[in-house]
Amino acid sequence: MIERFETLLLGVAAAAVLLGVALSLARGSALRAVLRFAGGLAILLAVLQPLSGVRLPSLSGLWGQAAAESRAQSAPYTAAASEALAGAAVRQVEAEIEARAGALGVPCTAALQTAPGEAGQTYVTGVTLSCPAAAQAGAGAVERMLEEECGITKENVTWNWIE
């Protein structure tokens, strides 16, 4: 790196000295303007020529590293957002089951049992319904509704009769 810097300084000094000599020998203003332009190009070339051999670090490697770090940092937030979304969906399904059971004459509170899937999905594995004992007569209608509309078989329905 020091050698490149020395080459840069030597080239700039040589170009400046040659430009100074050429300008002192030039008589016409048009010739002086051309010499100043040519000398500026020579000095620019003297600066850029040593820098052309400098190898900068690979930006693709830095970009890949930054992308990996970004994914690693966002993973907990993505997981938390997925859990919150799944929880909201479960609460909405529970509210819908409660409303449909109430419409069938069985006022109850629903609690879904869920299990996580392989790719982060949430699967419903069962439902617990807490209902007053007086509404036992409508249990069959609610079980049919759960099977037809939600795909929850009666084997996966747990009744909690409240006296």
Instruction: Please report, for the chain, the start and end positions of each structural domain, with discontinuous segments joined by +.
Output: 2-51, 89-162
Q: Of 105, 101, 125, 100, give the one whose Cα is nearest residue 115.
A: 125
Q: Specify the pLDDT at position 78.
A: 82
pLDDT of 59 reads 61
Q: What is the pLDDT of residue 141?
A: 92
Strand partners, 110: 129
pLDDT value for 56: 53
Instruction: Report DSSP state, residue 54.
Output: P
Residue 110 has a pLDDT of: 93
pLDDT reported for residue 124: 86
Per-residue pLDDT of the chain (163 residues; tens, 9 = 90+): 678 778 878 888 888 888 888 888 888 888 888 888 888 888 888 877 777 765 656 666 677 788 888 888 888 888 788 888 888 988 999 999 999 999 999 999 999 998 888 877 788 889 999 999 888 899 999 999 999 988 889 899 999 998 8
Say if CB 112 and CB 90 are below 8 A apart: yes
For 85-123, letters b (16+ CB in 10 Å) and e give eeeeebeebeeebbebbeebebebebebebeeeeeeebe
CA distances from 163 to 44, 99, 110, 160 (A): 94, 21, 17, 10
Contacts of 74 (CB under 8 A, 6+ apart): none
- Residue 143's pLDDT is 92
Beta bridge partners of 118: none
Write the DSSP string, 80-92. HHHHHHHHHHHHH
pLDDT the model gives residue 57: 61
Q: Does domain 89-162 have CATH number 3.30.300.30?
A: yes
